[in-house]
Amino acid sequence: MKCDLPKWFIVLLLLAAAPCAAAAADGGVSGTGGDEYALDPDFDSDLSLDGPPPIPDPLEPFNRAMFWFNDKLYFYALKPVARGYSAVVPQFARVGVRRFFANITTPVRFANSVLQLNFRSAGVDLARFVINTTVGVAGFTDPARDRWEIFPVDEDFGQTLGRWGLGPGLYITWPVFGPSSARDTVGLVADSFANPVNYVLVSEQAALIGVKAYERVNGVSLDIGVYEDIKRDAFDPYIYVRDAWHQHRENLVME
């Protein structure tokens, strides 16, 4: 069990009064009651709670309209294009392209790891970048993961703001870009300044949009079925996506 100080810091904040000794004995002695909440804040034995509140959604009518728009965009544009593309380009090449884009956006994740004082994450990402850019042939393969078991990290400025104590604010669904929050929208804009793709193509608006669209189509071609599953599993797809997205983001902030 590794000792991850920032993670413990959050847990300690949540516990507030928990003795340090109990925290140090990771996975150790089963202590006093209430320990369960440290692991699962949703652990509620008497069912008196409804769990953590969902994200505020005062823009729901607008968001539902955008959700509908994105849904149509997916089924009538993205998916057919991605299908055509995947019929021509073999899967290993598409996985390579996905990895290439993940590799060149290392500066975004690295900068945010440092801003969060998460030096372990910064180190991991740097190691991955060095290995995958060289051994991994410009990032098209992932030997860092496959040979050395160094797994990718996921950091962005929205998470950095969250780490600094900022809540998500209100929920917002952007056309094309999809679910976001007030905080993460700021994060998205800030991160674009650290994305090398934006610098290389800074004077070529059309090329930049083309590259972004290509990256998206490539991703969709590998993930066909994911959104369809979400829609099928949901009783109200809009609510499901909103809650799932919120949980996913807050979990990333905590990690």
Partner 1 sequence: MKRIVFALLALLVLALAAGAPSGAAASEATDVIKYTVEKALAILDDPELKGPEHKEERRKRVMEVIEERFDFEELSRRTLARHWRDRTPEERREFVDLYTRFLQDFYMDKIEDEKRDKVLFMDERVRGKVAEVKTLVITTTGTEIPILYRMKRNAAEWKVYDVIIEGVSLVRSYRGQFNEIIQSSSYEELVKKLREKISGE
Binding residues for partner 1 (CB under 8 A): 1, 25-31, 33, 35-36, 38-40, 42-44, 47-52, 54, 91, 94-95, 98-99, 102, 142, 145, 151-152, 222-223, 229, 233-236, 239-240, 243-244, 247-252
Output 154 or 204, the one with its CB closest to partner 1: 154
Q: H or E stretch including 178?
A: strand 178-181
Nearer to partner 1, 17 or 40 (CB): 40
Token output for 140: 């098209």
Shortest CB 193 distance to partner 1, Å: 26
- The residue (of 142 and 184) whose beta carbon lies closer to partner 1 is 142
The CB-of-206 to partner 1 minimum distance in angstroms stands at 28
Report in angstroms how near the CB of residue 22 gets to partner 1 at its nearest.
9
**CA-CA distance, 147 to 167, in Å (whole number)?**
38
> Which one, 203 or 251, has the nearer CB to partner 1?
251
- State phi, psi for 12 to the nearest 5 degrees: -65, -40
User: Considering the complex, what minimum distance in angstroms separates the CB of residue 171 from partner 1?
Assistant: 13
The answer to whether residues 153 and 120 touch, using CB atoms and an 8 Å cutoff, is: no
Rg, the chain, Cα only: 21
Tell me the three state secondary structure of residue 103.
Answer: helix
Burial class (CB in 10 A: 0-12, 13-18, 19+), 13: exposed
**What are the distances in angstroms from CA 152 to CA 2, 110, 149?**
17, 11, 9
The gap from C-alpha 210 to its chain's centroid, in whole angstroms, comes to 23
Q: Which residue has the tokens 């002695």?
A: 29
Please report how close the Cβ of residue 99 comes to partner 1 at its closest, in angstroms: 5
The nearer residue to partner 1, 73 or 244, going by C-beta atoms, is: 244
